[in-house]
């Protein structure tokens, strides 16, 4: 009998969740960004390990803040914790134990979890060992503690083989040929958001979102039209840039990512639109496709 189950990847913003998922999948699907809160919506990412199937649920960083959007993120993360078979809790090796302790408090259903000490390439081996010693006082809480680096020392199968140990025997939940259940549109949207994060500094990227207006598959090219939504007129100017240089760069970077994924040529047309206060407004979130249930 095969093993198959849901695994949530949780941790504070910037803990390395998206990077880990990309590394485990071996293809660029989840979004990676250098800035916090880049991962907003839940995405299922399916990874086969030998004959077993792991369905990873990408969750936003576990943290509290006042903005409605951030409240939404937290709810999503907690929802994911509720329904899964296993949690991978990512704790950057240089972090204090407080994030993990908060997580233990929130994990009311006591879902089994593996503690991954991430980014161990940033510190010495003895620092890793010291941190593992600190976590030992919670050894009755976690199934395992595994030091990990996506840059060196560990390989994806080191992690995957531990993960499947804790999954139930179950037929596949997804056709193994499909890499992600997210629609292509959602992936395009994430690519554009990622390019905004990569090209625009300051706080602006946090206050923007992307709406895919149209995806048209023509004979030898995909035509994608999308709108970047900002909160203020001044932000619109920043996104467009002097002589439209910024928006051109964003468009080019996103187009390259899309073409790499689909293996087809893409014509990407970007628009910018101002929508005041969308992060604070439930209808605004719904209009952008967030499934707001609270």
Ligand X SMILES: Nc1nc2c(ncn2[C@@H]2O[C@H](COP(=O)(O)OP(=O)(O)OP(=O)(O)O)[C@@H](O)[C@H]2O)c(=O)[nH]1
Q: Are 21 and 30 contacting, i.e. CB atoms less than 8 angstroms apart?
A: yes
Residue 59 is labelled as binding a ligand:
yes
Nearer to ligand X, 18 or 53 (CB): 18
Nearer to ligand X, 90 or 247 (CB): 90
3 state SS of 160: helix
Closest approach of ligand X to the CB of residue 17, in Å: 3
Nearer to ligand X, 120 or 288 (CB): 120
Residue 14 is labelled as binding a ligand:
yes
Q: What angle do CA 62, 89, 25 make, to 5 degrees?
A: 105
User: Which of 187-209 are b and which e, b meaning 16 or more Cβ less than 10 Å from the residue's Cβ?
Assistant: bbbbbbbbbbbbbbeeebbbbbb
Q: What is the DSSP string of 86-131?
A: EEEEEEETTS-THHHHHHHHH-TT---EEEEEE-GGGS-HHHHHHH
Binding residues vs ligand X (CB under 6 A): 11, 13-19, 32-34, 36-39, 60-61, 118-119, 121-122, 149-151
Residue 60 is labelled as binding a ligand:
yes
Residue 12 is labelled as binding a ligand:
yes
Residue 277 is labelled as binding a ligand:
no
Closest approach of ligand X to the CB of residue 18, in Å: 3
Radius of gyration of the chain (CA): 20
Residue 92 is labelled as binding a ligand:
no
Q: How far apart are CA 273 and CA 193, in angstroms?
A: 14
Nearer to ligand X, 5 or 61 (CB): 61
3 state SS of 286: helix
Q: How far apart are CA 33 and CA 39, in angstroms?
A: 8
Residue 275 is labelled as binding a ligand:
no
Closest approach of ligand X to the CB of residue 44, in Å: 16
Contacts (Cβ under 8 Å, ≥6 apart) of 199: 246, 249, 250, 253
Closest approach of ligand X to the CB of residue 36, in Å: 5
Closest approach of ligand X to the CB of residue 123, in Å: 10
Nearer to ligand X, 8 or 222 (CB): 8
What residues form the annotated binding site for GTP? 11-18, 58-62, 118-121
């Amino acid at each position: 009998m095969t093993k198959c189950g849901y695994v949530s990847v949780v941790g504070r913003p910037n803990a390395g969740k998206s990077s880990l998922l990309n590394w485990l999948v071996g293809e660029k699907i989840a979004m990676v960004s250098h800035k916090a809160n880049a991962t907003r919506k839940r995405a299922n990412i399916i990874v086969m390990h030998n004959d077993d199937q792991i369905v990873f649920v990408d969750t936003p960083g576990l943290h509290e803040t006042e903005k409605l959007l951030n409240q939404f993120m937290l709810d999503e993360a907690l929802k994911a914790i509720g329904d899964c078979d296993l949690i991978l809790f990512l704790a950057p090796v240089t972090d204090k134990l407080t994030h993990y302790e908060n997580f233990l408090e929130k994990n009311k259903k006591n879902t089994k979890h593996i503690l991954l000490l991430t980014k161990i390439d940033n510190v010495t081996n003895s620092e890793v060992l010291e941190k593992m010693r600190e976590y030992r006082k919670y050894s009755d809480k976690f199934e395992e503690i595994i030091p990990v680096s996506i840059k060196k020392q560990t390989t994806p199968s080191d992690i995957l083989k531990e993960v499947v140990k804790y999954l139930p025997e179950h037929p596949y939940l997804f056709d193994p040929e499909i890499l992600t259940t997210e629609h292509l549109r959602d992936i395009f949207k994430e690519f554009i958001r990622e390019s905004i994060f990569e090209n625009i500094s300051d706080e602006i990227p946090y206050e923007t979102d992307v709406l895919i207006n149209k995806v048209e598959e023509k004979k030898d090219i995909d035509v994608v039209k999308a709108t970047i939504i900002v909160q203020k007129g001044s932000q619109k100017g920043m996104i467009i840039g002097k002589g439209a240089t910024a928006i051109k760069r964003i468009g080019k970077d996103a187009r390259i990512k899309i073409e790499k994924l689909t293996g087809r040529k893409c014509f990407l047309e970007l628009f910018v639109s101002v929508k005041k206060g969308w992060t604070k407004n439930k209808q605004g979130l719904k209009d952008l496709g967030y499934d707001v249930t609270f």
